[in-house]
Amino acid sequence: MPSLEHTMAAGDMRLPGEGLLIKDKLYSGVMLTLENCLLPAEQLSQTPSAEHGLSGETEEQLRISGCERIQAAGILLRLPQVAMATGQILFQRFYYCKSFVRHCAETVAMACVHLASKIEEEPRRVRDVLNVFHFLKESRGGNRGYYPMPLDGSYINMKSQVIKAERRLLKELGFCVHVKHPHKIIVMYLQVLECEKNSELVQMAWNYMNDSLRTDVFLRFRAETVACACIYLSTRCLQIPLPDEPPWFLLFGAREEDLRDICGRILHLYTLPSVPLSTLLKQVEETRQALDALSSKGKPSMAMSAAATPNLEPFSSFSPASKAASPADGRPNHETSLNQVALKNACRKLANGDEQERLSRSEERRETKSTSPPRRRRSRSVASPHHSLSPERHKKVSHRERDGEKDRCVFTTDATPTKFFITDQPGEFTGSLESTGRTRQSEFVMGDPADF
């Protein structure tokens, strides 16, 4: 259950014009509505492209050519008309935030098509978008034979540019990419006016609405006003009377001044000459070069920067390949201290390797001894025949030793050869152990050979 303090805090929250007030603290808020899509008059009058020196006619032609390219690409990609309209409006919005001089119109058009297809839930691959724009470029250039873009470095570079342009598009628009289209509004208004059965009127109003996407009327007026303007222009062309007292457009919240303004912008579109996009891009490149040259005047020249940079010594004085001991000079190559250290390290490694090999051999001997069964060994004072045995017994043992020389057998292990002298006494024998490298004599008596 929330406490009383939290309840009061929630009650203190209010939404003023500048932000959100919570406990006497003002927080800025983010509000996404369709009204944000309409740009103010000061932003519409001075565009970023005009600030960079691009003429108004060129900018207008670039907007029209970009929207036409988006429309043609959407048709080839079999996108719905809503997706193509979204891409064109996004294209118009972006270039009121950024300049044509700094951002390529063709790349941004590709990004708008790709983004609009995802917004309208009709996604297309980036490769398909690139191939369609490549086809449009080649076909309008007069090339009859068309081949898809090869998967080489230029394709990968272009794909990365489109993806970056899409991210930049989202960033500049603040992820507010929703668009309200007047397609359904036109049909609904004609139904209210009881003109929906006039197919010619419906088709003409629809065509005017699609052509208006090449202009910036959707950034100046609401979608309802644009729909009324398309109906207004169509009825005037077809000379179809509509209610005049009171005017029919007042029913939909539109003003006649706005309708005339939109109609004038649409009709002005038909009077402009058709300019290829390649020609417009060349003009943009010239403007970019002039802008770069103007901006470089305020920066220090290359000669001044080179003069300010300290001269380094010739490369031959510090290059490791040009020492006095180099074979190219014809002098004998003397070993430096570094070579001597490397030689000592190599010798030390070899010595360590030999030591490790010896250690491994000794470990093998230990493992061999540990794997053999335990031996019962008696002390020398007890097992020695010279001290513990009687003279008669000593004679018998020495006689047996002489006879046992013939029965000497050798047992060989992986580590050392071992020699044993076997006696005639059942259950006992004496012997000596010989190891590789040095001989160790040990006499011993074992109880049972099976234990061995």
Identify the CATH number of the domain in which residue 191 sits. Answer: 1.10.472.10
- Residue 22 is assigned to a structural domain of this protein: no
225 lies in a domain? no
Q: What is the pLDDT of residue 118?
A: 95
User: Which of 246, 252, 239 minimizes the C-alpha distance to 192?
Assistant: 252
Residue 192 counted as domain residue: yes
Residues 288 and 409 in one domain: no
283 inside domain: yes
The answer to whether the Cα torsion of 263, 268, 271, 272 is positive or negative is negative
Q: Is-cis flag, bond preceding 48, omega within 30?
A: no
pLDDT at 76: 95
Sign of CA dihedral 99, 105, 111, 114: positive
3-state SS, one letter per residue, for the chain: CCCHHHHHHHHHCECCCCCEEECCEEECCCCCCHHHHCCCHHHHHCCHHHHCCCCHHHHHHHHHHHHHHHHHHHHHCCCCHHHHHHHHHHHHHHCCCCCCCCCCHHHHHHHHHHHHHHHCCCCCCHHHHHHHHHHHHHHHCCCCCCCCCCCCHHHHHHHHHHHHHHHHHHHHCCCCCCCCCCHHHHHHHHHHCCCCCCHHHHHHHHHHHHHHHHCCHHHCCCHHHHHHHHHHHHHHHHCCCCCECCEHHHHHCCCHHHHHHHHHHHHHHCCCCCCCHHHHHHHHHHHHHHHHHHHHCCCCCHHHHHHHCCCCCCHHHHCHHHCCCCHHHCCCCCCCHHHHHHHHHHHHHHHHHHHHHHHHHHHHHHHHHHHCCCCCCCCHHHHCHHHHCCHHHHHHHHHHHHHHCCCCEEEECCCCEEEEECCCCCCCCEEEEECCCCEECCCCCCCCHHHC
In a domain, 78, yes or no: yes
Other residues' Cβ atoms within 10 Å of the Cβ of residue 84: 25
Sort residue 121 into left (φ over 0), alpha (ψ -120 to 50) or beta.
left
Averages of pLDDT over each 10 residues, the chain, 452 residues: 42 50 66 66 86 91 94 95 94 93 94 95 94 88 71 91 95 86 89 91 93 92 93 93 90 93 94 88 90 77 48 43 46 54 73 60 60 53 47 52 48 43 45 43 44 42
Domain boundaries, position 441: 380-451
Count of the separate structural domains present in the chain: 2
Q: Sign of dihedral through CA atoms 188, 191, 197, 200?
A: negative
Give the bridge partners for 20, in sequence order.
Answer: 27
- Note whether 37 and 225 are within 8 A (CB): no
Does 397 share its domain with 280? Answer: no
Domain presence at residue 400:
yes
Among 240, 259, 293, identify where a domain stops. Answer: 293
Instruction: Please report the pLDDT score of residue 357 as a whole number.
Output: 56
- Is 23 within a domain? no
Q: Which of 293, 324, 352 is the last residue of a domain?
A: 293
406 falls within a domain: yes
pLDDT score recorded for residue 208? 94
- pLDDT for 299 equals 63
pTM of the model: 0.60
Does residue 52 sit in the same domain as residue 198?
yes
Q: How many CA atoms lie within 13 A of 387 on its CB side?
A: 6
pLDDT for position 449: 45
pLDDT at 271: 92
Question: CA nearest 285: which of 19, 36, 58, 118?
Answer: 58
Q: Choose one of 258, 293, 328: the last residue of a domain.
A: 293
Structure tokens, 390: 């009687």
